[in-house]
Chains A and B, each alone.
Chain A
Amino acid sequence: MIYDVTVIGGGPAGLAAALQADKEGAKVLLIEREQRLGGILKQCIHDGFGLVTFGERLSGPEYCERFIDQILDSGVERKLLTFVTKIVKTDNGFLIYYVNRSGASHIRTKTIVLATGCRERTAKQVFIHGTRPSGIFTAGTAQHYVNLMGKMPARRCVILGSGDIGLIMARRLTLEGAEVLGVYEIKPTPSGLTRNIQQCLRDFDIPLYLSHTVTRVFGDERLTAVEVMKVDQHMQPIPGTEEIIECDSLILSVGLIPENELAESLHVPIDRKTKGPVCDQQYMTETEGVYCAGNALHVNDLVDYVTENALAAGKNSAHYEKKERVRIPVEAGSDISYVVPERLDLKEPLEHVTVYFRAAKEMKNVNLMIRIGDNVIFKKRYSVVRPPEMERLNIDFSEFSLQKNQKVEFFLEKESSEGREHE
């Protein structure tokens, strides 16, 4: 027996991909490591999910419940509490090795959708020094303790990083009676969505310190204090600006990294910037038959985009056939930090290509330009672009008679004259 599509990961991306592949008539297997479907959304009990997909403000669990209900009524086979350990390429597909409480085994599949989500950057990855006490948590871990276990990891805390999960946890912990002394962000601009800065910090009078970072932690057993410092424009701490803040916990929201160990074990090329696999407009990676969706592909700030891209990945994987491909690169040019997809396959439809991109820095009154060779083929004005806010475009590339040796470049350009006065 061989599955047409095996989806790895049962978060919103995996759920959508599996459902769609099933609707397209494929024989689908969904593998999830945890006991329950839903991925990280299980612990996101705040609202704001699904505005684009459902036009409603749902909580995380409510959002994924809608997909889980459909999954239960579909033909998708499920393996829960099942961990994929290894994937091996074969002549006509893949062998997926897994373990669960019934044993260690493997299945065969024609295609794979990687939807393994992302993980959080840790204290060591942002080079925090000092002792090794308890009381240092990533925001997602803190969220797990509070929302899934009803336990308080903090009473008096400092938050490092203004990522969305950190902002949401600032509010959550405050509501639970903890004291949030401040959110410290190394960059001169916040990393989280503007709406979260307002709703999670300002509305609760929690101070946000930009261009600041935590440099050291103190405490032999439980954390007793942290040292914060101002940083210069190169994000290096400025000597003499040290300040010691007494607290019992430090919560980190310093970035998410796509979880791609399985992709790497298959030698799927990874985009250095997104840290997810390089993919084309079908969301197929550079390895035939391996698709990728959701936060494993690139870190999304809205789950709606995850769903959108996963539905497409699911659909495409169901219709996969091996064929010749002509892929040209889509590159991130000046002031763009990344563009997804990174490739266009000229043998696949080019009419409705959804492109996600992020600006490298906050800019006002800019034009997004798309260039092929020397020709600018597309231009769109943005009154403001910010790195935390991903932008989405729908572009018809079929008009431009793209050729094999061409490349597509996205870049931002300051508006020349009229825009100025608004600055």
Chain B
Amino acid sequence: MSSFARKVKKIKELSPSIQVSEEKGCIVLRGEADSWDTIVKAGRLAVDRKKYYGVINDIRLKGFTQKVKLPAEQDSLYDGAKPDVLIIGGGLTGCAAARELSRYNLDIMLVEKGADVAAGQSSRNGGAVHVGINYSPSSQKNYYNHRGNAMYTKLSKELDFPFERTGHLMLIGAAWEKILIQILLLNARRLNIRGARYLTRQELLKVEPYAPSWAYGALYMPTGGFTSPYKVNVALAENAVTNGVKICLNTAVTGMETKGGKIQAVKTNRGTIYPKIVINASGVYADVIADMAGDRTFTIHPRKGTDIILDKKVGKYIRTTEVKSPITVLGNGKKLHSSERVKMIKFALSHENTSKGIAVIHTVDKNMILGPDVQEIPDREDTTTDRESTNRILTEQMKVAEKVSPADVIAYFAGVRSPTYEEDFQVRKGIFCKNILEAAGIQSPGATAAPAIGRQLAIWTVKYLRETQKVEKNPNFNPIRKGTPHLSEMSEEERNELIKKNPDYGEIVCRCEEVSKGEILDVLNSPLPVYTLDAVKRRCRPGMGRCQGGFCSPLVVQILAEARGCSVDEIKKSGKNSDILLGSTKEALK
């Protein structure tokens, strides 16, 4: 039996109504199924990295149609624009590419359908800068993660965003589990990951004084780090804008016109754009956008993850990231039979184990994060949270973060990752379309990898454009972006000096996070000002703390309205229809 026939057989066993075919170098699945689980399983079974570009899984889920969240704006603001480059997606990948491209004298446009940059995964992740110790050496994940991780130190200095390299830990509960660490250390050597080593319990307690009582030892990876992903995203975007990139928010790509294997026009809700080359950095919609260009060779299957944010009070209990090793079973795991042990190790190292273990994560804002978990879902934009997930994460992770209780929870959120069935990044030039670059399948560790992916995309773009035009360096390129000051982190003298220059820095608006009016006004004077509650909250934290904006949101609304010169009624939480206020009271009307 051919390998294709074997695949067909297995998939048909799952559901006989699924049709399988080979088309344009891809394996294509069609039909309809009752459960999302079946569809994901079929997609996984179809994978053959050597033989196909990828899996195109078009099996429909009965009763489900994707509802795409589109901006409410409908106008012709950008109609007729003819940029050299059009980047679709203002996440980390798109903004990293934009910034890299702004090193050249090019007309660059970035469209983002959300009301702010970082509208997708890039604002909904834990901000771990990953080590990638378990990646296969030939994977793109390994290639870009390794490079991206290394770029973070310099990037954080240039762009003035928080970054700490305090290392990551994988904890084990018993002596025999050291074998997994040894295997991973071998891989670390192959991948050229520096400094990784085994720590005994005593050594572990020096790195992480509140390590759980059951921890026997740990794998320590000092190159692991932490950042604030939306701050990185905003920093990249602001620096790109400073260097000439045009960022168009509330702008969604809805279609393309192609001719002769080339994109001629890109349609948006704000007019048609005529770029020379397109970069597809659209996250969970990467396959949909690739399809518009006739270049689809992969399928994104949305994978939700929920993260729980805990009060700063417990932030001190974690300095790194702690993950329980996948073979550590707490409580009754001591007496495992050796065959079971082998099975567990094999699984831990296999590709089927796509989920990184849920972690306890230190954050640069001194909170603690628990999560994220893993849930395959049909809806690409379903960022809802549910009780079951948060309960599960809490119960599980309180075994690792032993000092934490549910009362420490201040917020939680969910993000949707964008994996392909091959589970690897698809960073490539167009195969069936000449003027598109794909940055697809950028799931975890995409926040880490984004700077390196952006660099690669820029190199290819310039090369493509140089075939037909001269592309010079941007003589005015400034790699430095200065963030707005955070006064609560300063000494009394520094703070005093700033307040003397600008008294607004002395007026505290958000008491939980100690944010002043001056800091809020600063972010509104930045290169990419966004006059919404959410945007201000992400950039300088009012409302991020334990009261979640109870005290300060009315004040922030007033500051926003004053700065923009509009009525408070016009200030939104995020998108055009996310009103906060619904008019005046009767008395006020009198």
Query: Does A215 belong to the interface (CB within 8 Å)?
Result: yes
With a CB–CB cut-off of 8 A, which chain A residues contact B410? 122, 124-125
Among A139-147, A283-291, A311-319, the stretch in contact with B: A139-147
User: Which of B383, B384, B514, B584 makes the CB contact (< 8 A) with A83?
Assistant: B514
With a CB–CB cut-off of 8 A, which chain B residues contact A140? 550
With a CB–CB cut-off of 8 A, which chain B residues contact A104? 492-493, 495-496, 499, 506
Q: Are A119 and B383 closer than 8 Å at their CB atoms? A: no
Q: Are A153 and B578 closer than 8 Å at their CB atoms? A: no
Q: Are A102 and B574 closer than 8 Å at their CB atoms? A: no
| Closest chain B residue to A217, Cβ basis | B384
Q: Are A133 and B578 closer than 8 Å at their CB atoms? A: yes
Q: Tell me the count of chain B residues lying within 8 A, CB to CB, of chain A.
A: 60
A123 to B413, CA, bound (A): 13
Among B2-10, B154-162, B296-304, B565-573, the stretch in contact with A: B565-573
Q: Are A131 and B548 closer than 8 Å at their CB atoms? A: no
A81 to B505, CA, bound (A): 12
Q: What 0/1 readout, one digit per residue, does chain A (138-182) give for beta carbons within 8 Å of chain B?
A: 101100111011111111000000000000000000001100000
Q: Are A129 and B546 closer than 8 Å at their CB atoms? A: no
Query: Does A241 belong to the interface (CB within 8 Å)?
Result: no
Query: Does A97 belong to the interface (CB within 8 Å)?
Result: yes
CB distance from A297 to the nearest CB of B (A): 18
Interface of B is mostly: mixed
Interface of A is mostly: mixed
Query: Does A99 belong to the interface (CB within 8 Å)?
Result: yes
A99 to B460, CA, bound (A): 51
CB distance from B50 to the nearest CB of A (A): 41
Query: Does A120 belong to the interface (CB within 8 Å)?
Result: yes
User: Which of B384, B411, B506, B584 makes the CB contact (< 8 A) with A124?
Assistant: B411
Q: What 0/1 readout, one digit per residue, does chain A (396-420) give for beta carbons within 8 Å of chain B?
A: 0000000000000000000000000
CB distance from A324 to the nearest CB of B (A): 32
Query: Does B386 belong to the interface (CB within 8 Å)?
Result: yes
Q: What 0/1 readout, one digit per residue, does chain B (194-207) give for beta carbons within 8 Å of chain A?
A: 00000000000000
A416 to B578, CA, bound (A): 58
Q: Given A124-B411, A222-B578, answer yes or no on A83-B508 (Cβ-Cβ < 8 Å).
A: yes
| Closest chain B residue to A102, Cβ basis | B506
User: Which of A101, A124, A130, A176 makes the CB contact (< 8 A) with B409?
Assistant: A124
| Closest chain A residue to B573, Cβ basis | A134
A381 to B140, CA, bound (A): 76
Q: Given A85-B488, A122-B550, A133-B578, answer yes or no on A103-B387 (Cβ-Cβ < 8 Å).
A: no
Q: Are B582 and A132 closer than 8 Å at their CB atoms? A: no
CB distance from A330 to the nearest CB of B (A): 24
With a CB–CB cut-off of 8 A, which chain A residues contact B574? 134, 221
Q: Are A176 and B550 closer than 8 Å at their CB atoms? A: no
With a CB–CB cut-off of 8 A, which chain B residues contact A97? 492
User: Which of A119, A155, A215, A221 makes the CB contact (< 8 A) with B550?
Assistant: A119
CB distance from B401 to the nearest CB of A (A): 18
Q: Are B582 and A248 closer than 8 Å at their CB atoms? A: yes
Q: Are B578 and A151 closer than 8 Å at their CB atoms? A: no
Q: Are B506 and A141 closer than 8 Å at their CB atoms? A: no
Query: Does B45 belong to the interface (CB within 8 Å)?
Result: no
Q: What 0/1 readout, one digit per residue, does chain B (529-558) give for beta carbons within 8 Å of chain A?
A: 000010000000000001111110110001
A125 to B583, CA, bound (A): 29
Query: Does B503 belong to the interface (CB within 8 Å)?
Result: yes
Q: Are A222 and B553 closer than 8 Å at their CB atoms? A: no
A85 to B496, CA, bound (A): 13
B372-429 with Cβ < 8 A to chain A? 383-387, 390, 409-413
With a CB–CB cut-off of 8 A, which chain A residues contact B584? 150-152
Q: Are B384 and A131 closer than 8 Å at their CB atoms? A: yes
With a CB–CB cut-off of 8 A, which chain B residues contact A102? 499, 503, 506
A177 to B585, CA, bound (A): 8
Q: Are B412 and A131 closer than 8 Å at their CB atoms? A: no
Query: Does A127 belong to the interface (CB within 8 Å)?
Result: yes
A102 to B577, CA, bound (A): 39
| Closest chain B residue to A97, Cβ basis | B492
With a CB–CB cut-off of 8 A, which chain B residues contact A124? 409-412, 548
Of A102, A130, A145, A148, most B-chain CB atoms within 10 Å = A145
Q: Show the binding face of B for A, using Cβ within 8 Å.
A: 69, 313, 383-387, 390, 409-413, 487-488, 492-493, 495-496, 499-500, 503-508, 511-512, 514, 516, 533, 546-551, 553-554, 558, 568-569, 572-588
List the 4 closest A-B pairs by CB distance, nearest first. A150-B588, A134-B573, A83-B508, A101-B503
Taking A101-B507, A103-B506, A150-B584 as given, write out 7 further A-B residue pairs in contact, using a Cβ cutoff of 8 Å, ordered by the A residue number: A99-B516, A133-B573, A134-B573, A149-B554, A149-B568, A152-B583, A153-B582
**Listed A/B pairs (16) with beta-carbon separation below 8 Å:** A33-B508, A102-B503, A104-B492, A104-B493, A104-B495, A105-B496, A106-B492, A119-B551, A124-B412, A129-B387, A134-B578, A141-B554, A146-B585, A150-B584, A151-B568, A221-B576
Q: Show the binding face of A for B, using Cβ within 8 Å.
A: 33, 81, 83, 85, 97, 99-106, 119-120, 122-125, 127, 129-135, 138, 140-141, 144-146, 148-155, 176-177, 215-216, 220-222, 248, 261, 264
